[in-house]
Amino acid sequence: MTVTSALKARTREFYGGVLGLKAIPSPAENLDLYEFPGGFILGLFFSDERAELLTEQDYLKATWLELKVDDLAQWKERLQSFGVIEIEYDDPSRFAEPYPRFFFQAPGGQVFRLAPL
């Protein structure tokens, strides 16, 4: 995913501090890598080139990543304390999977769905 360089510090605080992900060594100065439990690696490229960046509205049309948590209410509060706001997201699975969920955008606009384990 690509994030504007202006959000580098906030993005690092979010992924490393709020989500508690492990930052792993990166082969490039403009690339941050974060490891999720289970070995999934998320790469964030920092750029100032408009052509490389999606807007927050563009991300609403893209895919989302799901974070499974043991206490949805606690995580929702933690995210909101950081300044994350809940967003409306057209999720077709809402009809097939009737469980609580919380959609939000991370710094840079990436969409996540928080759901119970």
What's residue 9's pLDDT? Answer: 97
What's residue 95's pLDDT? Answer: 60
Return the bridge partners of 34, or none: 23, 42
With contact defined as beta carbons under 8 Å apart, do 3 and 107 qualify? yes
Residue of 63, 11, 66 lying closest to 38 (CA atoms): 66
The domains of the chain, with CATH numbers, are 2-116 (3.10.180.10)
Over the stretch 81-96, which tens digit does the pLDDT of each residue have? 999 989 887 766 666 6
What's residue 100's pLDDT? Answer: 80
Over the stretch 26-59, which tens digit does the pLDDT of each residue have? 999 999 999 998 899 999 999 988 766 777 777 7
Residue of 70, 83, 75 lying closest to 102 (CA atoms): 75
What's residue 71's pLDDT? Answer: 94
